[in-house]
Amino acid sequence: MPDHVSKRAFLAGLTCRTRGWREHRAARGEIGPGLEWQFHIGQSVGRLAREQLGAGIGLPFGPTETALEATRAKLLDPLSGLLYEPTFVWGGAVARADALRRNGEGWDLIEVKSGKEPEDGKPSEDYIDDAAFTAMVAQGAGLRIERCILMLIRREYRLGDGLPVLVELDATEEVLARAEQMSALAPALPGAILAAEMPAASLIFECRDCGYFEKQCLGAGVTDPIFLIPRLSRKKFESLGRCLRVSSLPDGVDLTDAQARVVRVLRSGQPEVDPIGLSRLDRIEWPARYLDFEAVAPALPWFPGAGSYETMPFQYSMHIADQPGSVRDHREYLAELGTDWRRELAVRLLADLGERGSIVSYSGYEKSILRYLGEIFPELQKSFDAAIARLFDLELVVKEGYCHPGFRGRTSIKKVLPVMTSDLSYKDLSVSDGRDAAGVFGLMWVGERSTAESASIREALLAYCKLDTQAMVLVHHELWKVRQAA
């Protein structure tokens, strides 16, 4: 186990010392293609930052003592102007800066992020905290910091525009102010994280998104945690007295209609049907086309004129049915590697969509993709606008018409499908969510997957996207049956 607290554990401990303690001891789990793709993006932006900053001295990453010794030596060398990955230890914590650039008698601390330059010029709290931790440790170790710089992707960057991809954002005031706040917690916070005994946990709003809550912490064994209530705000959570269980809520608490419905269903264990909500199904015009896209959004654009994180569909699946549950055809598309596939996808898609019948989607994602295709191909925009006018969001029927305790307060297709039917499952798929689909396609595109792997990956992508539209067909059919029985 490391004997110094990392940035990840320290920042987690700022919110919850129990979580920080666990993060310090957490073993690195299996990395799926979605996370691997994120790592690739970070590494690519990091390499680009070094190209823009120029030649510097790369310092060893570890072991810690070796890295510290190398950092000290180069900081004392008057010929050192730019250092990459310098290491500092202070107050029980260890930090590695992305870069230090000499600035007079001191240094500019540079942190490289793969996000976009903020539109309002104000960096996110996460970026400030990230840089502040490094600044706190470095200052504590005796470094004189003149400026704190965040390197981010230029917001308006387009491939081929000839301008630098990354911009330097001066965040000195915000970073140093936050570093001072953090330093007031040192060494007490690292001490709690390094202690043999885990700090006692308390229920806070951040438990909602904590990976430890449900299985290893306060939520373990709790069948109806308060966070099942949809759109539960921090203010509402606090007003409910930080109650752990839905079943413990007092009668008459102030909730929205949707929240109150979920609470009733969870307490009773029985589904609720709203005939008016289910009557939305009458608006579907046949033949209906059930449509699902997969898309990738590379930080560094692949095609001339494309922007950073531009969401580009690379795949679709479409089931065509003449009535609920009665499929007569399936269409699909998956881009080939090595060429700009977007026009081919757009033309093929419009042909498969035809000109009549509802286009059934699940959520508003498909609408955003259709709008994007119309924007990048203006000559096709009228056709895509017509397709958008035919969209029918099946998730709205679930939200308004059918609430089941098995949904656990959610309405995503992966929560709804296993409750409504056992005929389909995502469990046995090698690609089983959109993040991994985008990740594995991106990794193939940049050459991080071998040619030998590509055939099986393509089969996995086609199977996953096809199951998404099959799921919509089945959920629609089951909702139709619920309405018939109501």
User: According to the model, what pLDDT value does residue 1 have?
Assistant: 58
Do 7-193 and 278-485 share a fold? no
Single out the residue of 101, 51, 104 nearest to residue 81, CA to CA. Answer: 101
50: left (phi over 0), alpha (psi -120 to 50) or beta: alpha
- In angstroms, the CA 460 to CA 379 distance is 33
Q: What angle do CA 328, 330, 335 make, to 5 degrees?
A: 170
Per-residue pLDDT tens over the stretch 346-362: 999 999 999 999 999 99
CB 41 within 8 A of CB 154: no
Q: How confident is the model at residue 392 (pLDDT cuts 50, 70, 90)?
A: very high
- In angstroms, the CA 454 to CA 173 distance is 48
Per-residue pLDDT tens over the stretch 273-308: 999 999 999 999 999 999 999 999 999 999 999 999
Q: How confident is the model at residue 252 (pLDDT cuts 50, 70, 90)?
A: confident
Q: What is the DSSP letter of 3?
A: S
**Mean pLDDT, the chain, as a whole number?**
96
CA 385 to chain centre: 29
Single out the residue of 94, 132, 89, 125 nearest to residue 111, CA to CA. Answer: 132
Per-residue pLDDT tens over the stretch 184-218: 988 899 999 999 999 999 999 999 999 999 999 99
Amino acid letter for position 192: A
| Res. 460: pLDDT tops 80 | yes
| Res. 29: pLDDT tops 80 | no
126: left (phi over 0), alpha (psi -120 to 50) or beta: alpha
What is the CB-side half-sphere exposure of residue 201 using CA atoms within 13 A?
Answer: 20
Single out the residue of 429, 479, 466 nearest to residue 290, CA to CA. Answer: 466
| Res. 73: pLDDT tops 80 | yes
For 318, counting Cβ atoms within 10 Å of its Cβ (0-12 exposed, 13-18 middle, 19+ buried), the class is buried
Name, in order, each residue with C-beta under 8 angstroms of 238's C-beta and a sequence gap of 6 or more. 205
Q: Which residues pair with 90 in a beta bridge?
A: 93
User: According to the model, what pLDDT value does residue 89 have?
Assistant: 97
Element (H, E) at 134: helix 125-140
Domain ranges of the chain: 7-193, 205-270, 278-485
**How many residues are there in the chain?**
486
Q: How confident is the model at residue 486 (pLDDT cuts 50, 70, 90)?
A: confident
CATH topology of domain 278-485: Nucleotidyltransferase; domain 5 (3.30.420)
- Please report the DSSP string for 164-179 in residue order: -SEEEEE-HHHHHHHH
What is the CB-side half-sphere exposure of residue 214 using CA atoms within 13 A?
Answer: 9
Q: Which residues pair with 280 in a beta bridge?
A: none
User: According to the model, what pLDDT value does residue 186 have?
Assistant: 85
| Cis amide prior to 287 (ω within 30 degrees) | yes
- At 324 the three-state DSSP class reads coil
Element (H, E) at 210: none
Q: Which is it for the CA torsion 48, 53, 59, 64, positive or negative?
A: negative
User: According to the model, what pLDDT value does residue 61 have?
Assistant: 87
- Please report the DSSP string for 137-165 in residue order: HHHHTT--EEEEEEEEE-TT-BTTS-S-S
- Please report the DSSP string for 372-431 in residue order: HHHHH-GGGHHHHHHHHHTEEEHHHHHHHHEE-GGGTT---HHHHHHHH-SS--STT-SS
- In angstroms, the CA 238 to CA 20 distance is 23
Architecture of domain 7-193: Alpha-Beta Complex (3.90)
* Strand locations in 144-303 (E): 145-153, 166-170, 272-273, 288-296
- Long-range contacts of residues 306-313, Cβ cutoff 8 Å, at least 24 apart: 306/158, 306/159, 307/156, 307/157, 307/158, 307/159, 308/116, 308/153, 308/154, 308/155, 308/157, 308/165, 309/116, 309/153, 311/368, 311/369, 311/372, 312/342, 312/372, 313/342, 313/345, 313/369, 313/372, 313/373
| Res. 181: pLDDT tops 80 | yes
Residue % of the chain over a pLDDT of 90: 95
- In angstroms, the CA 314 to CA 431 distance is 15
What mean pLDDT do residues 258-283 have?
97
